[in-house]
Structure 1
Amino acid sequence: MAYVPPHKRVSKNDNDGDGEGSSQSPIPKPELPPFLTNYKNPKHKSSAHYQQVGDYKYDGIFKWFAVGLDDDNHFPPSLNLRTVSGKSLQGKIVRRQVLHYHSDDTTERSSNRVTQSFTRQPWEYITENLLQDLFSSFDEYMCNRESDLDHEKVFPKTIHIIFRFGKVFFSSWGPSNYEQKLERATNYLLSEDTLGEQRSSFYTNIPNSYVEYLIKEGASKSGLEFEQEKELYRVYFHDVTQPGKIMFCKCTIQIEDGKLHVSKMEYSHSHYMVRDISCLEKNLDMRLDLCTRRTKTVSSDEDMQCLKDFISYAIVDTKLKIGLRWPLGMTVAGDKFYLGEIWRISLKTFKGPSLRLKIRDVSRSTREETRREVSVKMKGLASEFLKQDADRNLISEMFKDDLKVLWNNILCCDERFPNEIILEQSIRSTWFAVGLDDHDQFPHSVHLQPRSLLSLQHKYALVNSDLAKQSCSKVEAESSTRSPWEYIAGKVLRVLISSFQEWRNKMESEDVNNTPTVIAILGKVIFHRRPSVNQEFAQKNMLSEDALRLVEKSFYTNIPDNSYVEYIMKEGASKSGLEFEKEKEVFHVYLRDTTERDGFMSCKCRVLEGGKLQLYKIRPGDSFCVLKQISCLEKNLDMELEVIFKETVTDIIEDEMQMIGNLIDSAIVDSNVQGGLRWPLGKTVFGNKFCVDSVVHITRKIYKNSSLKLKISDFDLYNFESSKGGQTKREVVMSLKGLSSELLKQEVHLNVIMEVLKEELKVLWNYFL
């Protein structure tokens, strides 16, 4: 992850300790200035993700081809690329191209045109393109299965041939001169070879009219009979003992007791072969997915019981889109599994001797929209492939027959693909609010207050007007019955575990020399309003958790209020069990490597008794990953949880070390200049490699105990390249050392991590916010 120097982190675009007393909180309200500067740029902005578009870009697995070419494998002259704009709920546009005919005449798009442009039947052509790869993939599957069975491992006994229906999208250009670029490039792109090299994806949300056709006509014409209609849930879990593997429990609600019960446990799909097929004669395309799904067998009865017990605690809530919720703090099942996504599926199935049609509406806990998907499973063909002495000629004929049914009866959508679609909106966000009521609504005393009037993109902060009238603890009791530290812990556990697992994977595959630490930064979450959005409208309509997730955010870290810092030093630190360790003064000299783009290096220096600067550590910079930005509605401050990665440079050659040493030695400590350092004229550059980019003068007080370390830092920044200074700020940062140590252990225990996380968050909540 790229390093960003501090001065460039600017956003674009008496109490018993339990927090239950009713006495006035001793923590003074830190006054934030109305005009905010020095924003900490969030690493992960809330953004729309193209999640309805499945993408399998794996070597040897994914391929694309078109059916409907002429005998010379050329596209018909009436075919071209048409632009489809995907609009997210944030108003962002993602452009893609789809293949379509110029003519809107429905007779031109009838199946009769196949014989005009294509002398081979489409199902025969598809069979020719897919069959050999299918045989190879089945052979690979059988070899893997035999190998695993020899080692007495559990391997999936079945493999599925599934056809999904939707539209193949091809990548596009940026918005600048888009139409002109498209017009010039269409002739070049419109060949099977060039389109095969384009990045493509598969859009699976199906028009309602197509689903109605399948239910009324398509299924019966295909020889399929209605089988059942049911509603089920998928509850996904991550296993910390098997990083990267995701399993899910298929669940149904029992009529007898109205509770959720587990019917099956499975791992997610493993894909052996994926083929996207652009069907030029049709309004829809197809995706072939050859995949397996292994039934989950847990290592002990205790693990199985933990998962079943967790599912049994689910609360059926019809007011929620997903229909399920768990009691506060329930995100961990036993000591190995933690909760992931939840799917709610309404399913209709139709079946015949060799085919099974599935029509499902899927709502996901991490998405805004419900999507409608159609797929056909070729049961008979898969069974024939799995036979010991499979007859290849018979398989070929069966494949053609099944494809003919799909082409003539299933792949019949009269509705042309629209020019604009609404993207499935991801609601994964690095932000959430704590202090909502039991219906997840903002208290009436909370409102969005403008914090800047000079920016093109106005900025707002969440403000609780009751905090000025009554104690924080009383506000908390009235607005929520939930313990805030337990609520926060439940929200951040999954992303916390994932971040450390990702770091472990990187350590195994790369030569990485850094150690992650979890930190909490105190400040204020700032919400950015687009200029096109009226201020009154924003303040009325943005005040919901779902709406604010979609807004661009930044985190303001400057704590200018002296009374708040004085409280921490005199009372907060001692009440929380922290002892004063030391006060120190350091300089960070940021050097830019002129031979590398974005090449920055941080030189940590201290001042010796004679006023000489001494270099004692060189780092490429502390990269960081924002876990969560948390608006604390019962408090005057918010917090941002990060994982910070500190790495020491060890591979500097002797000549480079000499250059850096000469640069540092020539620095003059001068308290009268911004940043506290200056260089003789022309001495900020040494050789042809390094130059001084910026300087940060830091005065820091440190308090610590066995599990926490508090840093109160005053920064004075000066940028030599832009000759800009005067950037001073004060930051309060808490390192969660105990939590970080538990996460770094070889054997991870979720229950222990959860308890440590709660305890450390409780200290932060009661004494520092």
Structure 2
Amino acid sequence: MAYVPPHLRHAKDAEKPSPKPELLVPQFQRSLNFGSPSRSNVGRRKGHNQPSSQAGKIEYGNDAIYRWFAAGSPGDGQFPSSAGLETISLKSFEQRSAEPPLILVLDPHVAQDVKESDGDVRKSPWEYVAENVQEDLLSSFQNVRKARESQELEGKPTLVVRFGKILFRGRSLTNVEAVERKSVSETTLRQMKRSLYTNVPVAFIQHVTSEAVPKIGLDFAEEKELYHIKLSDSMRPDSTITCKCRVMEDCKKLQLHKIELNQVRHLVFDVSCLDKKLDLRLMLYTKEALTDLTDDEEHCIRNLINSAVLNSEVKGGLRWPLGTETSGGRFTVVGVWHTNAKIFRSSSIRLKVRHADRFDFRTSVGEVSREVSLKMTEICLELLKQNHQVDLVTTMLEDNLRLIWECFLDCDCSFE
């Protein structure tokens, strides 16, 4: 009998009510980490052992930096008293949270004053962001370089900017406050849990591909479709293995392309852009390719890939016949992503516009999202040099952030 995923099963008793969404929330929340990295998941990849499975959790390197600040406000970085929290309706987020998320907004009249003051002596937002990021970026890259030289860490460092909306959690609003903007201090915001909602509006995707790409002069590089099969490994309880696979069109089967461990984050800067519709996350991470698998390990993983059945009707696009989602008593399928991405690039940056269809087998929760990310490849190449030029890195960072502000964030789109 073929395995039927939970989201496609029909109830035997037609009159039996479906479980309420709120009953599923606690289970999903236990698998998420919306706040700053805790001691339990900050550690070296090698030799970092957990008593229970940590697969799927976000992993941070030693001395990882995780910060937030707001940019685009009047007064050269002074947090405006006119900023406040508002609820936002995001169905896909509310499915896995008991509370509606909150976003940081600026009073409309103040926001207009900010736009009109762009030509004065006020420090530009990209200069302000670069100043806030530069010292920690250099420090984090130095830590990554030392860890790679001592072989405590493998994988090439990547510096990326992701677009979306910073969501805050941890403060309940009354019914009246949910309608009207609620003032909040910068100190309070730093204490709240937050996450980056990366499912950007369609209008932003259209703006990026039709306006930003030609304006910057990016060249189309490639379009690729991949299936990301997420595996838990009983021998690596603190990591998730990702198998990136392509589709062989002649036989409609998956072909293994690359095996990786989940990324390790070393620097995360969340930036609420008060004068724009979208926010940013600047992140430095490494990702290790698994190349030293034994023949038995590779055989077990390939068995899981070969057992996958392409099915566009299920979330994630793949299903496994009953009993084939585990291999060798060690590897288990815990999730799957089906992604279609367009890549644009220049000599200094690499832009990815991606459509992702995800499903988590542990929580039976799936989502579809549109995502945009920009890799700062030239800055990474300079920082990898033993005698890199700090002034040059500063200039590159400011230039890239200015490009982001003027060409990407200049889009009037809404998440609601």
TM-score, structure 2 as length reference: 0.76
Please tell me whether residue 430 in structure 1 is matched to residue 70 in structure 2: no
1:493 is matched by which residue type in structure 2? Answer: Q
What's the CA shift for 1:528?
Answer: 1.8
Distance in 1 of aligned mates of 2:28 and 2:70 = 21
Match of 2:240 in 1: 600
**Matched residue type, 2:358:** L
Amino acid at match of 1:529: G
Give the Å deviation of 1:471. 10
What secondary structure does 1:430 align onto? strand
Q: Residues 40 and 557 of structure 1 are in contact (CA less than 8 Å); yes or no, is this contact kept in structure 2?
A: no
After superposition, give the CA deviation of every residue in 1:347-369 in whole Å (9 maximum; x if it has no partner).
xxxxxxxxxxxxxxxxxxxxxxx
Counterpart of 2:104 in structure 1 is 462
Deviations 1:379-426 (A, max 9, x none): xxxxxxxxxxxxxxxxxxxxxxxxxxxxxxxxxxxxxxxxxxxxxxxx
Corresponding residue number in structure 2 for 1:70: none
Preserved contact between residue 84 and residue 183 of structure 2 (Cα < 8 Å): no
**Conserved? CA contact 1:675–1:725, under 8 Å:** no
Q: Which residue of 1 aligns with 2:14?
A: none
Given the alignment of the two structures, is residue 512 of structure 1 paired with residue 153 of structure 2, yes or no?
yes
Question: Bigger relative contact order, structure 1 or 2, given CA contacts below 8 A and separation 6+?
Answer: 2
| C-alpha distance in structure 1 between counterparts of 2:182 and 2:192, whole Å | 14
State which of 593, 603, 617 in structure 1 corresponds to 2:258: 617
Match of 1:767 in 2: 407
Contact map agreement 2:268 2:284 (CA 8 A) in 1: yes
- Equivalents in 2 of 1:430, 1:451: separation in Å? 23
Structure 1 partner of 2:220:
580
8 Å contact 2:308–2:318 — kept in the other structure? yes
Change (3 A) 1:39 1:460: farther
Deviations 1:587-622 (CA, angstroms, capped at 9, x unpaired):
000111134423421101000122110001111122
Q: Where does structure 2 lack aligned partners over 5 or more consecutive residues?
A: 1-26, 39-62, 410-416
Q: Which of these two proteins has the greater Rg computed from alpha carbons?
A: 1
Are residue 678 (structure 1) and residue 356 (structure 2) matched?
no
Letter in 2 for 1:702: I
User: 1:557-590: CA deviations, max 9, x gaps?
Assistant: 111x212211111111110121111111000001
Q: Which moved more, 1:683-692 or 1:632-641?
A: 683-692
Q: How many residues align?
A: 351
After superposition, what is the alpha-carbon deviation per residue over 1:85-118, rounded to whole angstroms, capped at 9, x for unaligned? xxxxxxxxxxxxxxxxxxxxxxxxxxxxxxxxxx
Q: Distance in 1 between the 2:274 and 2:173 partners?
A: 27
1:136-535 counterparts in 2 under 5 A?
A: 430-438=67-75, 440-442=77-79, 446-451=83-88, 456=98, 459-464=101-106, 466=108, 473-474=115-116, 476=118, 481-531=122-172
Amino acid at match of 2:366: G
Whole-Å separation in 2 of the counterparts to 1:429 and 1:495: 10
Closer/same/farther in 2, CA of residues 707 and 683 from structure 1, 3 Å limit: same
What's the CA shift string for 1:472-527, capped at 9, x where partnerless? 8436458x811111111100001101111111221233353211111001111122
1:434 Cα offset (Å) = 0.9
Alpha-carbon distance change, 725 to 468 in structure 1, aligned in 2, over 3 angstroms: farther
Assess if the C-alpha contact under 8 Å between 1:39 and 1:557 holds in 2: no
Asked if structure 1 preserves the Cα contact closer than 8 Å seen for 2:76 and 2:122, the reply is no
1:224-255 CA distance string (max 9 Å, x none): xxxxxxxxxxxxxxxxxxxx9xxxxxxxxxxx
* 1:263-298 Cα shifts (integer Å, max 9, x gaps): xxxxxxxxxxxxxxxxxxxxxxxxxxxxxxxxxxxx
Which one-letter code corresponds to 1:691 in the other structure? T
The residue type equivalent to 2:116 in the other structure is K
Q: Residue type of the partner of 1:519? A: V
Unaligned runs of 5+ in 1: 1-9, 14-37, 46-243, 245-427
Q: Residues 473 and 574 from structure 1, CA distance in 2 versus in 1: closer, same or farther, beyond 3 angstroms? A: farther
Aligned partners of 1:472 and 1:635 also within 8 Å: no
Matches within 5 A, 1:746-757: 746-757=386-397
The amino acid of 1:585's aligned partner reads E
TM-score calculated relative to the size of structure 1? 0.42
Contact 1:40-1:555 at 8 Å conserved across structures: no
Q: Secondary structure at the match of 2:324?
A: coil
Name the CA distance, whole Å, in 1 between partners of 2:174 and 2:150.
46
What per-residue deviation string (whole Å, max 9, x for no partner) do you get for residues 158-177 of structure 1?
xxxxxxxxxxxxxxxxxxxx
- Cα drift, residue 546 of structure 1: 3.2
Distance in 2 between residues matched to 1:496 and 1:747, nearest whole Å: 16
* 3-state SS in 2 of match to 1:639: strand
Q: What do residues 639-663 of structure 1 show as CA deviations (whole Å, max 9, x unaligned)?
A: 0010121211121001111111121
In 2: Cα distance, 1:475 partner to 1:678 partner: 55
1:575-724 matched pairs, under 5 angstroms? 575-610=215-250, 611-722=252-363, 724=364
How big is the shift at 1:713? 1.0
Distance 1:476 1:636, change over 3 A: farther
The answer as to 2:194 corresponding to 1:557 is no
For the residue of structure 2 that corresponds to 1:592, the secondary structure is strand
| CA shift digits 1:151-202 (9 cap, x unpaired) | xxxxxxxxxxxxxxxxxxxxxxxxxxxxxxxxxxxxxxxxxxxxxxxxxxxx
Matched residue, 2:49: none
SS at match of 1:662: helix
> Any idea what SS the aligned residue of 1:527 has?
strand
Contact 1:515 1:646 (8 Å CA) reproduced: yes
Amino acid of the structure 2 residue aligned with 1:449: E
Give me the whole-angstrom Cα distance separating, in 2, the residues matched to 1:750 and 1:673. 49
User: Equivalents in 1 of 2:206, 2:335: separation in Å?
Assistant: 30
Instruction: Tell me, in whole angstroms, the C-alpha distance in 1 between the residues paired with 2:352 and 2:256.
Output: 22
**Which AA in structure 2 matches 1:462?**
L
1:439–1:649 Cα change, 3 Å: closer
Give the Cα–Cα distance (whole angstroms) in 2 for the partners of residues 599 and 437 of structure 1: 43
Aligned-partner SS, 2:149: helix
Tell me by how many angstroms 1:750 deviates. 1.0
Are the equivalent residues in 2 in contact too, given 1:39–1:554 (CA < 8 A)?
no
Matches of 1:541 and 1:469, distance apart in 2: 15
Distance of 1:506 and 1:452 partners within structure 2 = 42
